[in-house]
């Protein structure tokens, strides 16, 4: 096995269908920077970020991918949690605190999807929890909208001298965590009440969360120490395509409908493209953006992209219903209509003739050393 480290290795192995060990070593291109550095590196090839994926002509043009998420899905459904008083709708559960604010579920199926997505992010970046350089001697870190807390727990394990706080609307984080890690139920859109500033603030996969992400970024700026770093990692919606837009496909229509419904809830899913500008306008310096790509299925050339595609495929197969049920309700769609439509979306998601991808961006910036602390205790 040549995945980046043994901790991630063993955790990835817990998800079926497993990615074959040799698939995780993606050093197949002659120009691979990985091959010149370390035999345990997972990389896209060269440059600071990958260029857009190229189409793999060897993938049959008329057969769907053989990715099968059935076993993974059924294992998650069998252990649905019943210990929290969550809001129940259509067989899914949603957060109770500030109920109705966030449209995705918080049940075990969604939690397992978030944990799988964590490995997708790690595979994307050659196993880096963040791309920005942390301030020296970082002592306090915050992970807003932490979900299951998996990023915060990994970060706390990696930096035991750093106190790590994760916040979320849902209490879905584990009880047994590193002693330097803790979680709080908190709405990141409320005025932040932390009385001590942070060295590092992180937020990931938040495209569906906020009415006013710009304000959240401004609050992050205020609650950093001078010299502190903030990094957001997120998907740019809607998906992109190589070649012509497949405007007649269910996949394309699903993207359009999600945007339409999200706009109706005043939480547009199209905000991530503005992160860099909002970081700059908030006062951050050295604002940096790096983009990566997750293909929808193995249509893309090279093991790096095919491995990301395997995980992204599972991510969406297991997430489509949770993402869509509540949102499409805002469009007046009945649950059964939504479920039927999603079957078509899944078919397109697996179709290698549709060369779709999600752009994933990492935006970071530093609070100037000369900035005021701006924290009111
Ligand atoms: C897609 S998940 C991402 C979780 C985590 N950041 C990760 O990358 O695994 C979005 C999370 O944001 C949380 N959330 C949504 N709106 C929020 C808000 N206003 N304040 C705090 N958490 C929020 C949801 O409960 C959910 O756990």
Answer with the residue of higher pLDDT: 5 or 336. 336
**Ligand 1 pocket, 146 CB below 6 A?**
yes
> What pLDDT is recorded for position 268?
95
pLDDT-derived band at 57 (thresholds 50, 70, 90) equals: confident
Query: How far is Cα 74 from Cα 17, in angstroms, rounded to an integer?
Result: 12
When pLDDT is cut at 50, 70 and 90, the band that residue 371 belongs to is confident
- Nearest atom in ligand 1 to the alpha carbon of residue 206 is 10
Alpha carbon of 165 to ligand 1 centroid (Å): 14
Q: Measure the CA–CA gap between 307 and 310, rounded to whole angstroms.
A: 5
Percent of the chain having pLDDT more than 70? Answer: 80
Residue in this structure with the two tokens 């043994």, named with its chain if needed: 6
Is the CB of 231 inside a 6 Å radius of any atom of ligand 1? no
* Alpha carbon of 108 to ligand 1 centroid (Å): 15
- What's the pTM? 0.83
- Interatomic CA distance for residues 146 and 96, integer angstroms: 16
The predicted structure's pLDDT at residue 275: 98
Tell the residue number behind the tokens 């301030």, with chain if given.
135
Pocket test residue of 93, 102, 108, 121 for ligand 1, highest count of atoms within 8 A of CB:
102
- Atom of ligand 1 lying closest to residue 189 CA: 19
Q: For the segment 312-341, what is each residue's pLDDT rounded down to a tens digit?
A: 999 999 999 999 999 999 999 999 999 999
pLDDT at 301 (0 to 100): 95
Ligand 1 contact, 145 CB (< 6 A): yes
pLDDT digits (tens, 9 = 90+) for 276-310: 999 999 999 999 999 999 999 999 999 999 999 99
Among 168, 164, 150, 173, CA closest to 14: 150
CATH class of 67-366: alpha beta
> What is the pLDDT at residue 84?
57
How many angstroms separate the alpha carbon of residue 145 from the centre of ligand 1? 4
If residue 121 lies in a helix (H) or strand (E), which one and from where to where? helix 108-124
Closest alpha carbon to 225 in 162, 277, 170: 162
Bridge partner list, 289: 363
The b/e string for 216-244 (b: 16+ C-beta within 10 A; e otherwise) is bbbbbbbbbbeebbbbbbbbbbbbebbee
Closest ligand 1 atom number to CA of residue 95: 25
- The answer to whether 299 and 56 are in contact (CB under 8 A) is yes
* pLDDT tier for residue 3 given thresholds of 50, 70 and 90: very low
Specify the pLDDT at position 67: 39
Q: Retrieve residue 228's tokens.
A: 């502190």
- pLDDT at position 271: 97
Q: What is the pLDDT of residue 58?
A: 78
Average model confidence (pLDDT) across the chain: 84
Q: Is 205 in the pocket of ligand 1 (CB under 6 A)?
A: yes
**Ligand 1 geometric centre to CA of 168 (Å):** 6
The pLDDT value given to residue 46:
67
| Ligand 1, atom nearest to 188 Cα | 20
Dist CA 87 CA 104 (whole Å):
12
pLDDT digits (tens, 9 = 90+) for 13-47: 333 333 333 333 333 333 332 333 333 456 766 67
**Residue 204 near ligand 1, beta carbon < 6 Å:** yes
User: What is the rounded distance in angstroms from the CA atom of residue 209 to the CA atom of residue 216?
Assistant: 11
Check pocket membership of 118 for ligand 1, CB cut-off 6 A: yes
The string of pLDDT tens digits covering residues 119-159 is 999 999 999 999 999 999 999 999 999 999 999 999 999 99
Question: Which residue would you say has higher pLDDT here, 367 or 96?
Answer: 367
Give the residue from 264, 216, 295 showing the smallest Cα distance to 53. Answer: 295
Dist. CA 206 → ligand 1 center (Å): 6
- Strands 140-144 and 198-204 turn out to be parallel
Residue 101 has phi, psi (to 5 degrees) of -75, -45
**C-beta neighbour count of 106 within 10 angstroms:** 26
Q: Which of 206, 320, 323 to mutate to test the pocket of ligand 1 (most atoms within 8 A of CB)?
A: 206
For residue 65, is pLDDT > 90?
A: no
What residues have CB less than 8 Å from 336, skipping those under 6 apart?
Answer: none
Segment 164-177 mean pLDDT? 96
Tell me the average pLDDT across 69-86: 41
With bands split at pLDDT 50, 70 and 90, how would you rate the model's confidence at 6? very low
The separation between the first and the last C-alpha atoms of the chain, rounded to the nearest angstrom, is 49
The domain segmentation of the chain, as residue ranges, is: 67-366
Per-residue model confidence (pLDDT) at position 373: 59
Nearest alpha carbon to residue 304 among 135, 126, 182: 126
Mutation probe of ligand 1 site: the residue of 103, 105, 168 with most atoms within 8 A of C-beta:
168
| Residue 66 pLDDT > 80 | no
Q: Hey, which of 71-80, 85-94, 244-253 has the most confident mean pLDDT?
A: 244-253
Considering only CA atoms, which residue is closest to atom 1 of ligand 1? Answer: 205
Cβ of 188 less than 6 Å from ligand 1: yes
* Close Cβ partners of 363 (under 8 Å, ≥ 6 residues apart): 231, 232, 234, 275, 276, 279, 287, 288, 289
């Amino acid at each position: 096995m040549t995945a980046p480290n043994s901790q991630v290795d063993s955790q990835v192995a817990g998800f079926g269908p497993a990615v074959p060990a040799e698939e995780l070593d993606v050093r197949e291109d002659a120009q691979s920077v990985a091959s010149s550095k370390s035999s345990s590196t997972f990389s896209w090839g060269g440059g600071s970020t990958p260029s857009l994926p190229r189409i793999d002509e060897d993938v049959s043009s008329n057969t769907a991918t053989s990715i099968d998420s059935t076993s993974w899905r059924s294992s998650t459904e069998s252990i649905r949690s019943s210990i929290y008083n969550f809001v129940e709708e259509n067989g899914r559960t949603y957060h109770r605190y500030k109920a109705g604010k966030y449209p995705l579920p918080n049940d075990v199926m969604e939690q397992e999807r978030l944990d799988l997505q964590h490995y997708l992010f790690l595979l994307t970046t050659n196993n880096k929890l963040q791309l920005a350089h942390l301030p020296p001697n970082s002592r306090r870190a915050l992970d807003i909208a932490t979900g299951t807390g998996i990023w915060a727990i990994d970060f706390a394990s990696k930096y035991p001298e750093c106190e790590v706080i994760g916040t979320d609307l849902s209490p879905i984080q584990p009880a047994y965590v590193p002693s330097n890690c803790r979680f709080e139920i908190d709405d990141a859109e409320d005025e932040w009440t932390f009385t001590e500033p942070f060295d590092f603030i992180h937020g990931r996969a938040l495209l569906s969360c906020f009415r006013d992400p710009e304000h959240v970024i401004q609050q992050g700026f205020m609650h950093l120490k001078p010299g502190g770093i903030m990094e957001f990692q997120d998907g740019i919606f809607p998906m992109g395509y190589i070649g012509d837009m497949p405007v007649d496909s269910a996949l394309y229509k699903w993207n359009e409908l999600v945007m339409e419904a999200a706009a109706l809830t005043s939480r547009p899913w199209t905000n991530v493209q503005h992160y860099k500008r909002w970081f700059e306008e908030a006062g951050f310096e050295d604002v940096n953006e790096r983009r990566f790509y997750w293909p929808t299925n193995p249509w893309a050339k090279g093991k790096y992209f095919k491995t990301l595609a395997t995980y992204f495929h599972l991510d969406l197969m297991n997430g489509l219903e949770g993402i869509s049920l509540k949102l499409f309700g805002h469009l007046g769609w009945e649950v059964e209509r939504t479920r039927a439509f999603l079957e078509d979306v899944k078919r397109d998601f697996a179709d290698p003739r549709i060369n779709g991808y999600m752009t994933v961006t990492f935006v970071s910036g530093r609070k100037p050393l000369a900035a005021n602390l701006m924290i009111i205790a």
